[in-house]
Amino acid sequence: MVELAVLGVLREGDLHGYELRKRVRELLGPGSSVSFGSLYPALARLERQGLVREVEPDESGPVPIPMTGSLSGELAAFRARARRRPRTPRGARTRKVFGLTSAGEARLGELVAEPGEDDRTFAVKLALCRWCDPATRLALFERRRAALAGQLAAARSSAAGTGGALDRYRRSLFEREADVTERDIAWLDGLIAAEQVTDPRTPEPSTTGGPSS
Amino acid sequence: MVELAVLGVLREGDLHGYELRKRVRELLGPGSSVSFGSLYPALARLERQGLVREVEPDESGPVPIPMTGSLSGELAAFRARARRRPRTPRGARTRKVFGLTSAGEARLGELVAEPGEDDRTFAVKLALCRWCDPATRLALFERRRAALAGQLAAARSSAAGTGGALDRYRRSLFEREADVTERDIAWLDGLIAAEQVTDPRTPEPSTTGGPSS
DNA sequence: GTCATCATGTAAGCCGTTACATGATTGC
DNA sequence: GCAATCATGTAACGGCTTACATGATGAC
């Protein structure tokens, strides 16, 4: 989970841990904390695995200034780096900027592709799936759709099994759950349809018009 | 989480661990497993705390026969108990039926009342809130409503902050999230309204006027 | 000089899972 | 006898959180 999120966020540009955490937090939405106590060890792990690598902060990169938003702290950190870290001297207490390696990119693709996503994992994958190939993406959507349809059917048969002997709170909970699931399925159908318009599973649109976007 | 679910399920009738697990699973819905490895230690813990107690299985209780549904296994277990466990001899490998103590009931009320519920915890509490007093229940609903409203507002301002620079997957995810949250708020409003019809917050509707929170 | 913020980590502990061990009983 | 199911646990392990330790810098 953390691994997926970190790789996904780094895919968009090099970042240091502190800023990375913010991005991960807003990626996962409210309620998912991702503390430093799990983020830094995760980064260390990923580095050992060769999926991320410490890089020199490039101010001319695709995400030009991964600044924190606070001018003062930002400047302070920059100066500190300029003075004490001309070239990753290890051990100094300043920023360590990480970037994805090619192995890391591949791993991200694998993580999105591998099945068995729950509610939250799916949301993260969806937020990241722009980076993976259309087939993987479509498979993800259809896998999710099937899972939801299965859940819905199971829930309904289970409800039929108990014979409606639920108090009103549980009944309401049940109805809400079914409603949300139904809507989610419709939502996924929309995503799938959009996917097939942009990428009609024929990777070479030789005769067709422009791919838009 | 497990504690809450176990106490809640036992509130409806005495059960042994194996059956308890099934009930907890269907209470938490699909995707939440609650393995034996966490259930049995939890039961032991609750017993040490005096919140549950081993009881003799009463076939004349409010939930008459907490049978597993499998006739063969059920009969087998019954016979085993009849032969080897005339009166909880401890250590034999047969059923141990647990029931809630009065302390356990009180604890259940506390757990539902204490704030800080996430998505899943709220669902469990809602499924269980029939057992707690109307004021606690109403507080739960309103707390949840406020939390969702806050989330929605935060998400919207955050979306405005990024300036709409999201790819279509993230945008869709965002829209879905907002939609679900809005519907949930409306749903909670319905629950709250229903609550106030049944219990208009004035336990003694004699002299006092409107509480008008 | 003190406080807040940025920044990186380590240590202890909680909570839960998987995998394993044990054992009774039924049905084949 | 063997497999499946019911039934109760223990052990090892993993992931994530909280709390702590460290330290730089700018603002007041």
Task: Say yes or no: A33 and A14 in one domain.
Answer: yes
Domain of A167, in residue numbers? 133-213
Judged against a pLDDT cut of 60, whether residue A74 lies above it is answered with no
Task: Say yes or no: B115 and B184 in one domain.
Answer: no
In a domain, A76, yes or no: no
Residue A209 has what pLDDT? 46
Task: Say yes or no: A161 and A209 in one domain.
Answer: yes
Q: Does the beta-carbon distance from B158 to A191 stay under 8 Å?
A: no
Mean pLDDT within B178-191: 97
In a domain, A104, yes or no: yes
* Cα-only R_g, chain A: 22
In a domain, A42, yes or no: yes
In a domain, B83, yes or no: no
Closest CB to B31 among A118, A168, A170: A118
Judged against a pLDDT cut of 70, whether residue A58 lies above it is answered with no
Task: Say yes or no: B206 and B177 in one domain.
Answer: yes
How many domains are there within chain A? 2
CA distance A206 to A202: 9
B185 vs B77, more confident:
B185
Residue A82 has what pLDDT? 41
A97-155 tens-digit pLDDT:
999 999 999 999 999 999 989 888 999 999 999 999 999 999 999 999 999 999 899 88
Task: Say yes or no: A183 and A155 in one domain.
Answer: yes
Of the candidate ranges B13-22, B133-142, B160-169, the one whose mean pLDDT is the lowest:
B160-169
The C-alpha of A77 sits at a distance from chain B's nearest C-alpha, in angstroms, of 24
Task: Say yes or no: A40 and A103 in one domain.
Answer: yes
Tell me the range of A51-65, A166-180, B25-39 where mean pLDDT is highest. A166-180
Residue whose Cα is closest to the C1' of C22:
B93
In a domain, B64, yes or no: no
B147 vs A69, more confident:
B147
Mean pLDDT within B191-207: 70
CATH assignment of the domain containing A2: 1.10.10.10
CB pairs under 8 A between A and B: 60
Task: Say yes or no: B19 and B100 in one domain.
Answer: yes
Taking CB atoms and an 8 Å cutoff, what residues of chain B touch A119? Answer: 31
Give the pLDDT band (50/70/90) at residue A201. Answer: low
H or E element at residue A113: helix A102-113
Share of chain A above pLDDT 70, in %: 75
In a domain, A34, yes or no: yes
Distance, Å, B80 CA → D11 C1': 28
Task: Say yes or no: A107 and A156 in one domain.
Answer: no
Residue whose Cα is closest to the C1' of D18:
A37
Joined tokens for residue A113: 């592709």
Task: Say yes or no: B151 and B184 in one domain.
Answer: yes
Residue A78 has what pLDDT? 45
Q: Give residues with Cβ within 8 angstroms of B115, minimum separation 6.
A: B143
Task: Say yes or no: A9 and A47 in one domain.
Answer: yes
In a domain, B85, yes or no: no
Task: Say yes or no: A23 and A120 in one domain.
Answer: yes
Give the pLDDT band (50/70/90) at residue B200. Answer: low
Closest by CA to B110, choosing from B3, B10, B25, B213, is B3
Chain A: residue nearest B122 by CA? A173
Mean pLDDT within A180-195: 97
In a domain, A74, yes or no: no
Per-chain mean pLDDT for chain A? 80
pTM for the model stands at 0.81
From residue A62, alpha-carbon distances to A59, A70, B73, B169 in Å are: 9, 21, 64, 20
Within 7 Å: CB of B187 and strand D? no
Distance, Å, A34 CA → C5 C1': 19
Task: Say yes or no: A124 and A148 in one domain.
Answer: no
The C-alpha of B180 sits at a distance from chain A's nearest C-alpha, in angstroms, of 7
